[in-house]
Amino acid sequence: MLTTSVRRKIQPFGSAAMRAFSPQTNQRLVDLDAEVVCHNYACLPVAIDRGERIYVWDVEGRKYFDFLCGYSACNQGHVHPKILKAMVAQASKITLTSRAFHNTQLGDFAKYFTELIGYDKLIPMNSGVEADETACKMARRWGYRNKGIPDDCANILFPTGNFWGRSITASGACDDPSRYH
């Protein structure tokens, strides 16, 4: 339990008081990340503050092309008017539903997409690593069910030099010692 005196000293995350106390520079934010964020990526020394379509700006006002743009899960650009409008409209009704429920959007989306690409079914994913993990599960399942591989004898082969995420499967399938270990 926090005492009253300690509770008063804590500023809400992102508050004006917190920003006033901490100058927004690339170096300060890089240093802060180095101090308190786990180091699973070697980041560029730039702290992005905002984005618009294919551009991003750092906290010091410099403009960049964003060639990464949420590369693993969300690479549609930044603040596109049509996407923003659809997102606000949807978020005003409901933000996210668990896959434990059905919802009004998934079936229609899946029907459209499966017809577009010519497949029978779709498994929606949030990220690339989830898609790759699911591909591994589906390959094992197919091997056991269709190829008759004996239980607990399936092997999945991965190419050398691969990188597809930081899950335990992805890290274990990688031959880069820094990622594998």
| Pairwise CA distance, residues 75 & 42, whole Å | 20
Residue listed under structure tokens 């998934």: 106
Dihedral angle computed from the Cα positions of residues 137, 40, 67 and 124, in that order, rounded to the nearest 10 degrees: 30
pLDDT per residue over 58-107, tens digit each? 999 999 998 876 666 677 888 989 999 999 999 999 888 888 888 888 99
pTM of the model: 0.62
Closest CA to 74 of 87, 64, 63: 87
Determine the pLDDT at residue 17: 56
Locate the domains of the chain by residue range: 126-181
Residue pair 170/133 in contact by the 8 Å Cβ criterion = yes
Dihedral angle computed from the Cα positions of residues 96, 98, 104 and 109, in that order, rounded to the nearest 10 degrees: 90
Determine the pLDDT at residue 32: 93
Amino acid type, 178: S
Determine the pLDDT at residue 14: 65
